[in-house]
A and B are shown apart, each in its own frame.
Chain A
Amino acid sequence: MVVLAGVSVIVFALVHLVPGDPIRLALGTRFDQATYDALRARSGLDQPLVEQFFGWFGRALGGDLGVSFRSGETVTSLIAERLPATLTLAFASILVALLIAVPLGTISALRPRSFVDRVATVLSQIGISVPEFWMAIVLILVFAGTLGWLPSGGYVPLTEDPGAWAQRLLLPAVVTGVVSGSVITRFVRSSVLEALGADHVRTAQAKGLPQRQVFTWHVLRNALLPLVTVTGVQLAYLLSGVVVVEIVFSWPGLGQLALQAVQARDYPVLQGAILLFAVVFLLINLVVDLLYTAIDPRIRR
């Protein structure tokens, strides 16, 4: 809660420090003093900053994030419009990431310093280092350009046309999934390695338990905690940080909305978006903590 209040103050301050008068920008060439004053009064920009802040914060708590300067729509509806695309991409990416990371990380940990392990390490290093917008451009060139198998971008809701939805989702999900998956692979490898070396695993092996049982009950369960943590961090990042990939694939998500809001000095939209991201970040942290207690009975106490 303290964090949320702090975030709100900083968001508000930051956004209002942005030079450029949004109303003047919105009016453009149709500028005349009377309309300008009227609009200014309507959006509350003529009030002192502190009053503006408390007004905004109070309404935000009630779910009213204000009205966009540019389009006149409410910020809540703008965000709601973009939310499905962002959620789809984020969850598809994390799925791709886990599908890559869990098997790859586990195999490398089971055979440390083997050929597979070395290959996996190199691949994850490459995945972390490759600029995702570059990978996106290359994939578009290959799959949409040369091969012509997939569309180069855009978004179709699942309910409209599931086939087109999947086609358009595949490339962006792979791009962000590979990057996140590379990060997660490293965590899976090191946490499985650590769990393998623990005393209780040796005890279980000494008791003569079958390898499979030792692995599922004693190793994987212990390796799950760091995995949950890093997956949470990655999910938070995917929900907020894939602006660049959204732009390259013309994916109508929240990142794109926020970038447009910055360019148009659309304060209410930018404030709303950043606030939402911060809330999401805190929520994910909360869920991670709850999952911890579910996985590890020692934390429950």
Chain B
Amino acid sequence: MTGQPVPQTAPSPDATEAGVRSTQRPPRPRWRETLGLLARNPTAAVAATVLLLIVLMAVFDETLAPAGPNEISVEDRLQAPSWEHPFGTDDLGRDILSRVILGAGVSLRVGFLAVAFALVVGALIGLLAGFYGRWVDDVLMRFMDILFAFPAVLLAIAVLAVRGPGAGNTALAIGIVYIPVFARVTRASVLGVREEVYVRASRSVGASDLRLLTRHVLPNAAPPIIVQTSISLAFAVLAEAALSFLGLGTQPPNPSWGLMLAEGRGFIDIAWWLAFFPGMAIFLTVLCFNLLGDGLRDVLDPRQRTLMAGGGR
């Protein structure tokens, strides 16, 4: 505590924001320090390692996959898991393990793209709204309220209906859904640092708004945004799977975990492995992003609580 009055986040008219309280934070932890602390949190460390493996798997998918994603062999159809096909084969005799490996790239790419889009747009809106306040805040956040009032899944479905299915459009649809979440988290965090002594000091020596924002406000407001990024990645992967499951996301014959689940659903009585393994892959990836997000929160921002807003969950 510095003895300085702590600026409180303005009470929000919106109920969902009540979970976030951004007040005094410890000084900005440096990268190395953060990583060190994270490594000492066993759950987060394991989650990060598994995620790294999944990413590596997605990068080297073609070398790792024992068979091509669309190698059809009718005599091998609906084989139960065995040494030759550890995850079994589907109704066209395609190797499920290979399709799960190749599906990782699709799911992760859509997830990263979606969150990157939401992060850039949402954080920018939140930054401007929180920093300038007054009418800028009113206009921007009111617009965010409107976007937020849409049911998340339907908004994504509607965007996909306009733009047509496919990986890029799926990322865009999920990204749009998440913009308000990032805008709110960023705004709340910016409100907390806006009146800090170092910001006022910098302003008093004539620093420009741009300099204030990039050098002081954004770095110090970053921790909750980083945490939100990890959690949003979890939900983006989940959302991609759900949209593909509905037939609106990734299109066949491309392997996507959600699509494989949908295809396997029809065979659930006779061949459980068709739907089981892609489901496991989604679950594991989402779980790791969530655990990493929790670990990051403990390290970076112990005071902030979960903001589970819209977006699929």
Contact = CB atoms under 8 A, between A and B. Distances in A.
Whether A and B are associated in the same complex: the answer reads: yes
Say which size band chain A's interface belongs to.
Answer: 35 or more
Contact of B15 (A186, A187, A289): A289
Contact of B308 (A15, A145, A233, A282): A233
Interface stretch (B92-100, B148-156, B206-214): B148-156
Chain B, interface size category, equals: 35 or more
B16 A278 contact: no
Contacts of B242: 131, 133, 244
Given A134-B282, A230-B308, A281 B162 contact: no
Nearest to A186: B306
A284 B150 CA distance: 13
Contacts of B306: 183, 186-187, 190
Interface in B279-313: 279, 282-283, 286-287, 290-291, 294, 305-306, 308-310, 312-313
A48 B79 CA distance: 58
Interface stretch (B64-72, B111-119, B138-146): B138-146
B239 to A, nearest CB: 10
Contact of B146 (A6, A236, A288): A6
Contacts, number: 153
B18 interface: yes
B125 interface: no
A88 interface: no
Given A187-B19, A273-B154, A262 B283 contact: no
Nearest to A133: B245
A248 interface: yes
A158 interface: no
A134 B261 CA distance: 7
A179 B283 CA distance: 13
B218 interface: no
Contact of A15 (B142, B158, B291): B158
Contacts of A133: 241-242, 245, 261
A126 B80 CA distance: 27
Given A237-B310, A243-B246, A131 B15 contact: no
Interface of A: 2-4, 6-7, 10, 14-15, 17-19, 125-126, 128-131, 133-134, 137-138, 140-141, 145, 179, 183, 186-187, 190, 225-226, 229-230, 232-233, 236-237, 240-241, 243-244, 247-248, 255, 258-259, 262, 265, 270, 273-274, 277-278, 281-282, 285, 288-289, 292
Interface of B: 14-16, 18-19, 142-143, 145-147, 149-154, 157-159, 161-162, 164, 234, 238, 241-242, 245-246, 258, 261, 265, 268-269, 272, 275-276, 279, 282-283, 286-287, 290-291, 294, 305-306, 308-310, 312-313
